């Protein structure tokens, strides 16, 4: 089963929570966007929450549900 990717990304002066490329919500504070992202990602496992910095680079990632790492083999 493929994992759904949620992202917290800067959007001008606000922060946006997205599922793949689809906007879900806008927040004035990054912490509010991250909290909303965690709730949605945990409720829709398997999923991954990717949090970006203000410059657009990836800050951190969280995986919810079965994590294939380390891979079998």
pTM to 2 decimal places: 0.87
C-alpha to C-alpha distance for 47 and 63, rounded to whole angstroms: 6
> 2 pLDDT band (50/70/90 cuts)?
confident
pLDDT bracket for residue 66 (50, 70, 90): confident
In Å, what is the CA distance from 18 to each residue of 56, 68, 69, 71? 14, 23, 24, 28
Domain ranges of the chain: 4-57
Encode pLDDT of 3-40 as tens digits.
999 999 999 999 999 999 999 999 999 999 999 999 99
């Amino acid at each position: 089963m493929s994992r759904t990717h949620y992202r917290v990304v800067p959007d001008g002066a606000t922060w946006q929570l997205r599922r793949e490329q689809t906007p879900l919500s806008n927040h004035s504070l990054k912490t509010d966007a991250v909290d909303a992202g965690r709730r949605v990602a945990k409720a829709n496992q398997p999923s991954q929450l990717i949090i970006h910095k203000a410059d657009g680079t990836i800050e951190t990632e969280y995986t919810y549900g079965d994590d294939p790492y380390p891979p079998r083999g």
